[in-house]
């Protein structure tokens, strides 16, 4: 029996080998040198590390650790980190495609497995390639808010990030000898007989140009100076009611009637008491003006002027002090983000408002009329619109 399978696999190998060699020869190209792979790999690795660090920060803000206070300042910190996350993720697309193009002849290497370390190396690359492709594709789909997959975007994007970084560490470890050779310039920096030095440079230059264009034509959704070049991003600065983009409209959240109901009031619950503040009550309290950005997890962001009641003042008014997380609920009946938590460090920050006005007039209903949260350094998803209640936990 063992003899039989042995003979069968030998025959299969004899059939496959010439196919693999032919595929390898066809796919090979001097442009696809170790040098190209390392040069592009370096940029791609750096991009993945930036995405990983900024992504972790975004997760931490959305699921804070009870023992780890978060910085509320600089007020634009999340705008910066999440803008960078999405810009770098977009840059990773051409880099990843170029990297795969440069190394895919290796797929047809013969024999397919030379040793146990070689098997592990190939397996780690398979995991790295698969996880990276899914990670980048679902990231792009999230930017355009299209979820054609049955799993949770956030949980999957987060889990895959660890798999990408883990297999990247293994991959860099395995390839270290090649990487070091390229760094020491002992391979690939001399033109071959056919002058292929130039084509290799042109390839890397073309990839760099494609990456730069992808960034330049989308980064304007979060970088003011690049806003005029924003051709391809999903959101445009300065558009939408009151000159600010809207992520979920009042109609989508099912609040078109409740948000404008004349008997609306904001419930404030403390361990000791319960209050209901009407819009007039809120307007009669001292008003503060702040300039703070909406910084969406999907990468778009824009600074705006907000006016309303300082959260600390409002809490003092009802005899409460933020020592534990606050819970905000929205009038919203459909979809996520109808309930959010705010750690006390944000509630204490004087920039944190229960905003009633945006850019000089009462909040548009799509921006959260009658009242919404605006706080420094937080993801857009936590800037709860159409407030219904604030609960002060002890
Ligand atoms: N109640 C509620 N608040 C919400 C949302 C929501 O869906 N429901 N979306 C959030 C998201 S994802 C963002 S980016 C900001 C956008 O605020 P804007 O529409 O006023 O620009 O609102 C946040 N507040
Ligand atoms: Mo958002």
| Interval 273-317: pLDDT, tens | 999 999 999 999 999 999 999 999 999 999 999 999 999 999 999
For ligand 2, the distance from its centroid to the CA atom of residue 316, given in whole angstroms, is 30
Say if ligand 1 is within 6 A of residue 358 CB.
no
For ligand 1, the distance from its centroid to the CA atom of residue 296, given in whole angstroms, is 8
pLDDT for the residue 184:
86
The sign of the dihedral angle between the CA atoms of 46, 50, 53, 55 is negative
Say if ligand 1 is within 6 A of residue 244 CB.
yes
CA-to-CA distance for 387 and 365, rounded, in angstroms?
12
pLDDT for the residue 82:
98
For ligand 2, the distance from its centroid to the CA atom of residue 260, given in whole angstroms, is 23
pLDDT for the residue 32:
80
Which protein residue has the closest C-alpha to ligand 1 atom 24?
384
Which protein residue has the closest C-alpha to ligand 1 atom 13?
380
Atom of ligand 1 nearest to the CA of 366: 19
Say if ligand 1 is within 6 A of residue 337 CB.
yes
Atom of ligand 1 nearest to the CA of 385: 3
Low-confidence ranges of the chain (pLDDT < 50): none
Q: pTM (2 decimals)? A: 0.94
Phi and psi for 146 in degrees, rounded to 5? -115, 120
What is the Cα 319 distance to its own chain's centre? 39
Say if ligand 1 is within 6 A of residue 237 CB.
no
For residue 35, the 8-state DSSP code is H
Fold of 243-392: Sulfite Oxidase; Chain A, domain 2 (3.90.420)
**pLDDT, tens digit, 9 for 90 and up, residues 76-111:** 999 999 999 999 999 999 999 999 999 988 889 899
* Residue 68 Cα distances to 71, 96, 172, angstroms: 10, 35, 32
Share of the chain above pLDDT 90, in %: 82
* Residues near ligand 2 ion, CB 5 Å cutoff: 247, 296, 380-381
Domain residue spans of the chain: 2-229, 243-392
For ligand 1, the distance from its centroid to the CA atom of residue 177, given in whole angstroms, is 49
Phi-psi region of 389 (alpha: psi -120 to 50; beta: other; left: phi over 0): beta
Smallest-distance ligand from the CA of 332: 1
pLDDT for the residue 193:
56
Which protein residue has the closest C-alpha to ligand 1 atom 9?
381
């Amino acid at each position: 029996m063992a003899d039989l399978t042995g003979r069968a696999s030998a025959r299969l190998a004899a059939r496959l080998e010439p196919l693999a060699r032919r595929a390898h020869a066809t796919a090979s190209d001097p442009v696809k040198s170790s040098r190209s792979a390392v040069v592009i790999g370096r940029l791609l690795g750096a991009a993945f590390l930036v995405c990983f660090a900024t992504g972790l920060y975004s997760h931490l803000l959305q699921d804070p650790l009870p023992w780890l206070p978060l910085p509320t300042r600089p007020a634009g910190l999340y705008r910066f980190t999440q803008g960078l996350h999405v810009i770098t993720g977009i840059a990773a697309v051409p880099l990843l495609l170029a990297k795969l193009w440069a190394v895919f002849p290796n797929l047809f290497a013969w024999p397919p497995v030379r040793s146990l370390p070689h098997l592990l190396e190939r397996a780690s690359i398979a995991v790295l390639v698969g996880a990276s492709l899914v990670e980048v594709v679902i990231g792009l789909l999230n930017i355009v808010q299209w979820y054609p997959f049955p799993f949770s975007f956030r949980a999957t994007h987060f889990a895959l990030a660890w798999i990408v970084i883990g297999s990247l560490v293994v991959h860099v470890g395995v390839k270290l000898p090649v990487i070091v050779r390229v760094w020491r310039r002992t391979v690939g920096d001399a033109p071959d007989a056919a002058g292929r030095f130039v084509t290799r440079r042109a390839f890397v230059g073309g990839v760099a140009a494609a990456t730069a264009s992808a960034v330049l034509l989308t980064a304007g959704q979060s970088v003011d100076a690049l806003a005029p070049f924003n051709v391809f991003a999903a959101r445009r600065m300065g558009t939408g009611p009151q000159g600010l983009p809207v992520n979920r409209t009042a109609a989508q959240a099912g609040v078109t009637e409740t948000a404008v109901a004349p008997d609306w009031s904001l419930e404030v619950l403390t361990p000791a008491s319960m209050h209901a503040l009407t819009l007039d009550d809120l307007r009669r309290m001292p008003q503060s003006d702040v300039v703070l950005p909406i910084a969406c997890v999907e990468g778009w962001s824009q600074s705006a002027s907000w006016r309303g009641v300082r959260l600390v003042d409002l809490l003092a008014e009802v005899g409460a002090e933020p020592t534990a997380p606050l819970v905000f609920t929205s009038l919203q009946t459909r979809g996520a983000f109808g309930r959010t938590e705010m750690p006390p460090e944000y509630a204490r920050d004087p920039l944190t408002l229960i905003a009633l006005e945006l850019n000089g007039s009462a909040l548009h209903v799509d921006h959260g009329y009658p009242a919404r949260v605006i706080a420094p350094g937080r993801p857009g998803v936590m800037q709860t619109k159409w407030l219904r209640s604030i609960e002060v936990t002890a």
